[in-house]
Amino acid sequence: MKLFIDTANTEEIRAAAALGLLDGVTTNPSLLAKEIERRGRGRQEEIFAEICEIVPGPVSAEVLAADYEGMVREGREIAGIASNVVVKCPLTEAGLRATRTLSEEDIAVNVTLIFQPIQALLAAKAGAAFVSPFVGRLDDISAPGMSMVADIVEVFGNYSFATEVLVASVRNPVHVLDAARLGADVATIPYGVIKQLLHHPLTTIGIERFTADAKKYTG
């Protein structure tokens, strides 16, 4: 499973990239706004270009337009920023039309805000490179987000779509484990959760004990 980081915070992206495990980045308008607030300045396009330089893998940025023409125009502009750009379009009628147009121009599209499996099927049929089911936001309303991912993986397994299942709105390590067990192609993970994945109390205690024992017989 590929690991993406779900943030526009360039310090977090550099730290995650330094681990040597980072395959890509996903951003959204809320994450970019948060990064501009953290810096106290900046424009979305500048921050996005910076992220594309830090990480060679796919970097998703979302269109803001709600209409087809606007999405296609913005998508082409975003795609011009760097060769590793993926254009994020929401799962709406206009978003699906824009996905078809942009993907036919060889622009990779990540169809976002997916909350049920048939939306994912429609996005795959429109030519999406990625579909982003939001698991945490479904869990928030007492609907099991991971059941949706299981259904998408099953449906895609019946056909030969090149579309990758990118599990988004990940909130905790169990979401990551479940995504991997289901065979999702990608999980996009906030930095805080990436750090949680690295730590286990028994690993820490084990190191302390080994170090203490070794010190008994070494100078």
d(CA 102, CA 161): 17
Are the C-beta atoms of residues 79 and 97 closer than 8 Å to each other?
A: no
User: Between 68 and 130, whose beta carbon lies closer to ligand G3P?
Assistant: 130
d(CA 63, CA 54): 21
The minimum distance between CB 43 and ligand G3P, in angstroms, equals 20
Q: Count of CB atoms within 10 A of residue 95's CB?
A: 25
Catalytic pick among 2, 34, 88, 216: 88
**Residue 24 phi, psi dihedral angles, 5° rounding:** 180, 180
> Does residue 169 bind ligand G3P (CB under 6 A)?
yes
Active site annotation includes 88: yes
Position 94, amino acid: A
Q: How far is CA 108 from CA 62, 82, 124, 192, 210, in A?
A: 12, 12, 12, 28, 49
User: Nearest to residue 84, comparing CAs of 187, 184, 4, 179?
Assistant: 4
Radius of gyration in angstroms for the set of CA atoms belonging to the chain, rounded to a whole number = 19
User: Between 122 and 166, whose beta carbon lies closer to ligand G3P?
Assistant: 166
Through-space distance between the first and last CA atoms of the chain, rounded to whole angstroms? 44
Stretch that binds ligand G3P, among 39-47, 66-74, 117-125, 164-172 (CB under 6 A): 164-172
SS3 115: coil
Binding ligand G3P by CB under 6 A: which of 188, 189, 193, 194?
Answer: 188
> Does residue 2 bind ligand G3P (CB under 6 A)?
no
**Binding positions for ligand G3P, 121-140, rule CB under 6 A:** 134, 136-137
Binding mask 41-80 for ligand G3P (x = CB under 6 A): ----------------------------------------
> Does residue 9 bind ligand G3P (CB under 6 A)?
no
The minimum distance between CB 125 and ligand G3P, in angstroms, equals 22
Q: Which residues are catalytic?
A: 88
User: Which chain residues interact with ligand G3P by CB under 6 A?
Assistant: 6, 26, 28, 31, 134, 136-137, 168-169, 171, 188
